[in-house]
Amino acid sequence: MEDVERGEDVERVADTDRLVIAGEELGSRLIMGTGGAPSMQVLREALTASGTELTTVAMRRVDPSARGSVLDVLTGCGIRVLPNTAGCFTAGEAVLTAKLAREALGTNWVKLEVIADEHTLLPDPIELVEAAEQLVDDGFVVLPYTNDDPVLARRLEQIGCAAVMPLGSPIGSGLGIRNPHNIELIVERAGVPVILDAGLGTASDAALAMELGCDAVLLATAVTRAQSPARMAAAMRHAVEAGRLARLAGRIPKRHYAQASSPFEGLATSG
């Protein structure tokens, strides 16, 4: 870390400090989703501005009337595709969807999502663990979307998941990180990358995730439903980089009272 203190090397740290998932290096710690973008053109501009190298897609029945392909956008941008199991309520549905994604897209990586209900979209931990076990046994690189529960995160890692992805708050809510303490607990004990997934609303939320020690963030709605998706994507890119650098820099401890930054000695006197 001494290199960081020499000004000319600070930017180089950002270049060499790579996210590694399942032995594969990624040049960006911002993982994007594609849901919610009003058009493929807006999506392309936002993904380009974000600098992401890994982006999620969902798997659905083919629609002969669909115009434009999200896969074409990702391929055109040189972005690796990460299929998810969004919308699955049971382990069985999620496992089948993951297998279909592997066949359709030629990747054994999967963002595993097993939700409990449509109202909260919160993960169902029982079904999630069951699906994770089956997929790990079948050779998948499993990235599970999970509750901000340190115990569950630990169990998912023990099963063999390649990362854990705790939520900041419910999907699409924009409420940010509601339990930063739990995220810190997950980070402290994790031996695999921790990716803050879901609930981020704006750039400061992403910076906070990184300052708490997360290895990456995954977000979609905050960008795709922003008034200017490309601008927000660029903001998120900078926020993730800033938060990561701040984490590596080591923040000062919080204090109850002030601590003068100017010396008291040598003050002028009057009267």
Nearer to another protein, 47 or 245 (CB): 47
Instruction: Return the structure tokens found at 204.
Output: 């400061």
| Of residues 185-224, those binding another protein (CB under 8 A) | 220
**Is residue 66 at the binding interface for another protein, with CB under 8 A as the rule?**
yes
Interaction between residue 86 and another protein (CB under 8 A): yes
Using rule CB under 8 A, residue 49 touches another protein: no
Q: Which long-range contacts (CB under 8 A, 24 or more apart) does 4-12 make?
A: 4/248, 4/249, 10/245
For residue 136, the tally of other CB atoms under 10 A from its CB is 18
- Is 198 annotated for ligand binding? yes
Query: Judged by CB under 8 A, which stretch of 59-67, 115-123, 207-215, 260-268 contacts another protein?
Result: 59-67
142 half-sphere exposure, CB direction, 13 A CA radius:
31
**How many residues bind another protein, per CB under 8 A?**
38
Single out the residue of 56, 146, 147, 169 in contact with another protein (rule: CB under 8 A). Answer: 56
| Cα–Cα distance, 225 to 30 (Å, whole number) | 17
Among 6, 15, 62, 254, binds another protein (CB under 8 A): 62
Residue selected from 41, 69, 120, 158 as contacting another protein according to rule CB under 8 A: 69
**Interacting positions 90-119 with another protein (CB under 8 A):** 92, 96-97, 99-105, 111, 113
Q: Interior CA angle at 206 toward 204 and 207, to 5°? A: 60
Site for another protein in 115-174 (CB under 8 A): none
The DSSP code sequence of 250-269 is -PPPP-SS---SS-STT---
Is 78 annotated for ligand binding? no
Distances (CA, A) of 101 to 25, 98, 106, 115: 22, 5, 8, 18
Stretch near another protein under the rule CB under 8 A, chosen from 22-30, 34-42, 129-137, 233-241: 34-42
Of residues 44, 102, 111, 237, which has the active-site annotation? 111
Q: Compute the chain's Rg from CA coordinates.
A: 20
Which lies closer to another protein via its Cβ, residue 71 or residue 151?
Answer: 71
Tell me: does residue 43 bind another protein (CB under 8 A): yes
Matching residue, tokens 């973008």: 37
Nearest to 167 by CA among 193, 198, 121, 129: 198
Nearest CA to 246 among 6, 13, 26?
13
111 is catalytic: yes
Residues marked active site are found at 111
Positions that interact with another protein (CB under 8 A): 33-37, 43, 56-64, 66, 69-71, 81-84, 86-87, 92, 96-97, 99-105, 111, 113, 220
Binding-site residues for 1-deoxy-D-xylulose 5-phosphate, please? 172, 198-199, 220-221
